[in-house]
Structure formats: C-alpha cells, structure tokens
Amino acid sequence: MKVLMTNAHLGDGFVCQLQTEFPEVEFLTAMSVEEQLSAAGDADVICGWPDSPEVVAAASRLRWIHCPGTGIDKIMAELPSLADSDVVLTNARGPHANPMADHVLWMMLSLSHRGRQMAEDQRLGHWDAEKYSHAFVELSGTTMGILALGDIGRAVARRAYGFDIDVYAVDVNPVAPPPQVKEVWGMERLDELMQMCDWFVITAPLTSESRGLIDRRRIGLLRASAYLIVISRGGIVDEDALADALQNGRLAGAGIDATEIEPLPQESPLWGLDNVVLSPHASALTPQMYEGRRQIFRENMRRFLGNEPFLYVCDKRAGF
C-alpha cells in the first residue's frame, strides 16, 4: 500500500513517524507536480492538497484523499469530478476551532478597545488617556450574529457568552441551540440577523451557496455601529463593498483573517484602514492545532488499514 504525501503542512518529521507506526505502508513525499505525477500511479491514498487534476487522474488505484486542513473548497474546485467518484474525501475538522475562536475575540477586543492605535502609541512612547475618552465599546450587552454554527461558530459562541454577549446564529442545517446561543435559525432569516447584531462573524465554509453571500446589499443591512469579522474563508464577503462601507462610515470596523485573493493584493484599500484588523489567514496556527491534525490522520490511517469507518468524511457535493 502506498500513501502519497503532497504537502508539508503536518510537519517535516511526520512522514518518518508514520513510517515507524505503519511499517506495512509506503509513505512517499512528493511536493512538486512532476514528483506527484511520477509517484501517483500506484498510490492508494493522497494526504494533502493535490497540485493538479492530472495527479488524481494518474492515481488509478486511489481510494482515499485526506485534506489535512478543514476547508475542502480548493480540492473540489481543482477536482470537480471527485464529487461523482468513489474516492472518499476526509478532512481534519476540530483542532482549528479553539484558536480561531480565540482570534475572533482578539479581533473584537482590538476593535472595541482601539488596539491598533494603542500599539502605535506604545511604539512612539506616547501617553494620552484623553485621546481614548468615550472611544471604547463594551462587549457586555451587545448582540452577535454567527453565519454557520459548526465547530468554529460554537467555539466563538462559547467565548462570546463569557463576555455577556447575546448570540444568535443562522445555518443551512439549523439545530437546537447550545446553551450559549439564544436562537439558531435557517438561512431565510439571515437578513433579519444582520439587521439586529453588533458583531457579525463569518464562520462558514466556502461553497457554491456561500460564495458572495454577504454582498453589498447585505453589508448595507448592518448598523453603522456594527463590526464584521471574517474568520473562515474569503470569497463569502464582497470585499469592495466592505471597504466602501468602512471608508464611508457605514460600518464601524472589521476583522479579517481570510480574503478572496491571498495574499491580499497590495492595492486593496483594506490595508490602509484604521478601523480594520488584518491577519494573514493564520488564526488557527498553534502547535496544538497541528498535533490535533496529525492525530486525526493517524487515526484515519489506522481505520483505513482496519477497514473501519473513517472520521470526518466530507460531503463532496455540499462542499464541507
């Protein structure tokens, strides 16, 4: 049996660990398209993001692709035929949720307590308390709306609840609300949710249904005092409309960890706005997250060899 590792996401030493743990399996690292094409012919498994559809087409024995991250949008965009194939697609959902939720609260606190301005004052050695008179926003008593109550959304809700924030959510599959969430509604109430919240947090995967969902009209539904946080994927929010609203006082601020084009183009106005907190799609990158993702692949490898059901099988048509 042969496993093709097409990405170093899980760490340079991980392949050696896997070879020791599963000596009956050949684990082969192939980073370039040329290496992947050369090695794919007799591969049973691909772990990583295949760099070309031709790689998968060449893998005539392929039975399983494991996405070492959470979002499968890149894989499905590159390999649309995968949806109709018998190849199982799994991902590593779960370990990313806590650090990403931490990042959401960091962004909220940075925006509500002028973190960027204070960091600049510290850099300059400038002390001016009067500058911040009436400048802060208390989180307690505000309302948060969450788009998609999956692992990330639930982790955000737990933290928001600790700040006495009223939390509501919409989801394509509305479920009974957990203790930290007042209501979970279907997507037909998205507009209503956006009109009522002070914080609107994007935790949804990027799918054909979510792409461009938060367009100019919906951004216009948010209060001028509201803040928008993009933590899951770019491409869901119209970034031109968002920048326009931020520049013209129709939105108080935004926290953005994921953008439609990455790296964010230098000409984007989002770089220069004082009411924006930007990070380079790095919110989940803790040692604990990487180890959690390694453990998921180890467990699924064990299950694959033992002919047991996988953890975290993706719905290839739904896109998550």
| Secondary structure (3-state) at 74 | helix
pLDDT at residue 107 in the model: 98
Q: Is 109 exposed, middle or buried (0-12, 13-18, 19+ CB in 10 A)?
A: middle
Query: Half-sphere exposure of 123 toward its Cβ, with a 13 Å CA cutoff?
Result: 6
Question: pLDDT below 70 — which residues of the chain?
Answer: none
pLDDT at residue 50 in the model: 82
Whole-model pTM: value is 0.95
pLDDT at residue 12 in the model: 84
Going across the sheet that includes 199-202, the strands are 183-185, 166-170, 143-147, 199-202, 227-230, 253-256, 276-278
Work out the angle between the directed axes of helices 287-305 and 97-112 (0-180°, nearest 10): 160
pLDDT at residue 283 in the model: 98
Q: Average pLDDT of the chain?
A: 96
Domains defined for the chain, CATH in brackets: 2-95+287-305 (3.40.50.720), 97-278 (3.40.50.720)
Token output for 164: 């006495």
Distances from the Cα of 155 to the Cαs of 1, 29, 151, 162, in angstroms? 38, 34, 6, 11
pLDDT at residue 286 in the model: 98
DSSP state for residue 221 in the 8-state scheme:
T
pLDDT at residue 51 in the model: 78
